[in-house]
Amino acid sequence: MNEIHFLNRRSKLLDIMEEGVAIITSAPTQTRSNDTEYSYRQNSDFYYLSGFNEDNSVLVLIKTPTSSKTILFVEAHNAEHALWNGARLGIDGARERFSVDEVHDVTQYFGMIKEILREHINLYIDLYNDSARVIEAKAAAQSLHSTRGVKRHIRSIRDVTYLIHSLRLIKSPEEIETIKKAIAITAEGHHQAMEKCRAGMIEYQLQAIMNYVFLNNGAMSEAYGAIVAGGNNANTLHYVDNRDELRDGDLVLIDAACEWELYASDITRTFPINGKFSDPQREVYNAVLDVQLRVIEAIRVGVKRDWFQTYSEELLCGALIKLGVLNGELCALIEAKEHKKYAPHGIGHWMGLDVHDPCPYVDELGESLAFMAGMVMTIEPGLYFRADDESVPERYRGIGIRIEDNILVTKEGYENLSSIIAKSVEEIELMCNQL
Ligand code: GLY
Ligand code: MN
Ligand code: MN
């Protein structure tokens, strides 16, 4: 994404801030074991505003009634680091590359922040993630508070993430293109898994097929830990072991997707391991698919998120009645939350730089947000019938199905960004029997 997008985002954040100083810090590196690290993943908020992908850096936005300034603190070039880990952009490189007003060595951060805070009363930080640099900023504010002769001092510490997450809720055309790229690679991964799946394989072998597609197409990583769940394993919602054998006659649920330029995709497909749905599997599959299609059809600007959640639960409950899993009157069953046993999770979530984008679901008064053009969300209904659950008709026991797509709200209604991925029974059976 081009520098102008990051510049626009910073200026939008400055617009919605009151006078004061906002501090957004990069993610730390994370130890995996002893002296080895996980591959680095930038803090999404920091990346959203800076486009900078190095650790140990800080973005500072300053707003006065008449002006604004942006400062990026970065780690200087260091020959030792360059030898072992590769060259950093360094101070001159960052000055050249980014259109911030100033770039400084991160070692100057504490001294400079202390000077900057002398002039302000509002400090915006991530209130819920005390990074070392945020602790330093609070310490600087505290020391100024007890220093004589300081004209102004910080009187209010506010959460900067709420403001950033409100901006992140509406995706720009460039963000949507980036998400589409992630989905295109993920689509190929799901299709190859369908084509290559055979009874007797191990779940992780399907995961490996997908990861090969992701990396081979230049994606940096999975967007989240893949779920490859054969048979009854699909009824464990966050099953990530992926080490069981795939059995003839079972379904496999794959919830796996890649990240492209830090933007996620999040796709689930459930398909027969031997390439052909049995009658009970088809019945449950079509029940879930019908709910998914009807929920997606209801997406349009102005629809409230909480109505939408309720509507999806009514549809799922109706499906459970039709399948003979629940008996009784729809309203009474919903009221008693009987459907939750078989459909325990929500209908979907915002998606973007994080697979579960932390953007708000309610406004500042706690009222459910209405859909607006540019929002991107997942729609992922599921029904889960555990093998040992005697409340379920025997023919359905051990079946767990989720179908998940990524949907953009548009002025006209919606666009299913993942519609290219095989989904109907016929499309899936065709894809499973290609090779
Ligand atoms: N893959 C995580 C989710 O579907 O929310
Ligand atoms: Mn999801
Ligand atoms: Mn998912």
**pLDDT tens figures, 102-156:** 999 999 999 999 999 999 999 999 999 889 999 999 999 988 887 877 777 899 9
- Ligand 1 pocket residue status of 405, Cβ below 6 Å: no
Q: Name the residue among 189, 194, 184, 241 with its Cα closest to residue 210.
A: 189
State the chain's mean pLDDT as an integer. Answer: 96
Question: How close is the Cα of 268 to the center of ligand 3, in Å?
Answer: 6
- pLDDT, position 189: 98
Mean pLDDT within 355-359: 98
For atom 2 of ligand 1, the residue with the nearest CA is 266
Over residues 198-223, mean pLDDT: 98
Q: What is the pLDDT of residue 151?
A: 72
Q: Report which ligand 1 atom has the smallest distance to the Cα of 223.
A: 1
Q: Give the pLDDT score at 150.
A: 74
Q: Is residue 77 very low, low, confident or very high in pLDDT (cuts 50, 70, 90)?
A: very high
For residue 256, the model assigns a pLDDT of: 98
pLDDT single digits (tens) 287-339: 999 999 999 999 999 999 999 999 999 999 999 999 999 999 999 999 999 99
The rounded Å distance from CA 48 to ligand 3 centre is: 22
* Structural domains of the chain ordered from first start: 3-168 (3.40.350.10), 173-432 (3.90.230.10)
pLDDT of residue 1: 87
Comparing CA positions, the residue from 101, 115, 116, 106 lying closest to residue 21 is 116
Residue owning the nearest CA to atom 3 of ligand 1: 266
Taking a C-beta distance cutoff of 8 angstroms, is the pair 207, 286 a contact?
no
How many whole angstroms separate alpha carbon 43 and alpha carbon 28?
8
Beta pairing, strands 58-63 & 20-25: antiparallel
User: Mean pLDDT, to the nearest integer, of 73-99?
Assistant: 95
- With a cut of 80, say whether residue 54 has pLDDT above it: yes
Q: Which numbered ligand comes closest to the C-alpha of 224? A: 1
Query: Could you give the strand order of the β-sheet that contains 414-416, starting from the edge strand earlier in sequence?
Result: 376-379, 405-409, 414-416
Question: What residues act catalytically?
Answer: 35, 238, 255, 266, 345, 349, 356, 380, 384, 402, 404
Instruction: Say if residue 38's pLDDT is above 80.
Output: yes
State the closest ligand 1 atom to the C-alpha of 227, by its place in the atom list counted from 1.
Answer: 1
Q: Indicate the range of 87-101, 138-152, 367-381 predicted with least confidence.
A: 138-152
Angle (nearest 5°) at CA 81 between 80 and 83 = 65
**CB of residue 357 inside a 6 A radius of ligand 1:** no
Average pLDDT score over residue span 347-364:
97
What integer pLDDT is reported at residue 149 of this predicted model? Answer: 74
The four Cα atoms 411, 348, 335, 283 give a dihedral, to 10 degrees, of: 100
Q: How far is the CA of 267 from the centre of ligand 3 (A)?
A: 5
Closest CA to 126 of 58, 204, 41, 225: 58
Residue nearest to atom 4 of ligand 1 (CA): 266
Predicted pLDDT of residue 143: 86
Q: Using a 6 Å cutoff on CB, does residue 126 contact ligand 1?
A: no
The predicted structure's pLDDT at residue 178: 98
pLDDT of residue 210: 98
354 lines ligand 1 (CB under 6 A): no
Residue type, 9: R
pLDDT at 419: 98
Residue 129's pLDDT is 85
CB-count burial class (<10 Å; 0-12, 13-18, 19+) for 353 = buried
Which atom of ligand 1 lies nearest, measured to the CA of 255? 1
CA of 278 to the centre of ligand 3 (A): 24
- pLDDT on residue 428: 98
How far is it, in rounded angstroms, from Cα 69 to Cα 324?
Answer: 63
Q: What separation in Å is there between the alpha carbon of 378 and the centre of ligand 1?
A: 8
For the Cβ of 255 lying below 6 angstroms from any atom of ligand 1, the answer is yes
- The predicted pLDDT at position 346 comes to 97
Residues whose CB is less than 8 angstroms from the CB of residue 187 and which lie 6 or more positions away in sequence, other chains included: 267, 418, 420, 421
Q: How far is CA 176 from the centre of its chain?
A: 14
Is the minimum distance from the CB of 380 to ligand 1 under 6 angstroms?
yes
Atom of ligand 1 nearest to the CA of 268: 4
pLDDT of residue 105: 98
Give CA angle at 223 (275, 415), nearest 5°. Answer: 75
**Amino acid in the structure at residue 300:** R
